[in-house]
Amino acid sequence: MMQTIYSGMLIVAKTHRQHKDDEEKKKLIRAGLNPRFIEKQKCTEEDIDKIVDLHLRLDQVKKSMEALDPEDGIFAVGEIQDYGKLVEEFEFALQEAWGFEKSADHHSHWYDVPHCSCPKMDNRDNWGTPYRIMNVSCIVHGGIKNVVE
């Protein structure tokens, strides 16, 4: 991936191969969406495209998190925590795209990210409730108060 700074903005230019890979991923994501659920939620093609794009971008955020090494110091840890917060924003955006009320109680990606040591099964069991179980030594969530406001 080439990166260019233009007028203070970071421009990321994807190679042809990366663009082709993204298109393949979009097809897989689209194929994985439940057709009955799409019908029930009365999703338009535009809604579906947005949902697919959000899933693709969420996947890219998780890969960016994975590439960071918390051993590189506080800056890397801060970036990892920022990405963790961004994952929450994507979950809200997905709820909106699906036509749901925004609710942190129904998030499931927040604990399924690189470097997170929060208990997966316990948090899966708590889905739909306001309760989250966080490991105090979790690099992503341990030092964060009020992860979702």
- Whole-model pTM: value is 0.73
**Do 50 and 89 reside in the same domain of the chain?**
yes
Collapsing DSSP to helix, strand or coil, 2 comes out as strand
Residue 54: partners with Cβ closer than 8 Å, 6 or more residues away: 90, 93, 94, 97
Range of the domain at 2: 1-32
Q: Would you say residue 48 lies in a domain?
A: yes
**Do 113 and 142 reside in the same domain of the chain?**
yes
Structure confidence at residue 116 as a pLDDT band (50, 70, 90): very high
Dihedral sign of CA atoms 90, 96, 99, 102 in order: positive
CA–CA dist 31, 77 (Å, integer): 35
**Do 48 and 72 reside in the same domain of the chain?**
yes
CA terminus-to-terminus distance, the chain: 35
**Do 73 and 28 reside in the same domain of the chain?**
no
**Do 50 and 9 reside in the same domain of the chain?**
no
User: Do the beta carbons of residue 16 and residue 5 sit within 8 Å?
Assistant: no
Could you report the per-residue pLDDT of 33-77, keeping only the tens digit for each?
A: 888 888 899 989 899 889 989 988 998 999 998 998 888 888 888
Q: Would you say residue 79 lies in a domain?
A: yes
Collapsing DSSP to helix, strand or coil, 5 comes out as strand
- Residue 14 in this model has a pLDDT that exceeds 90: no
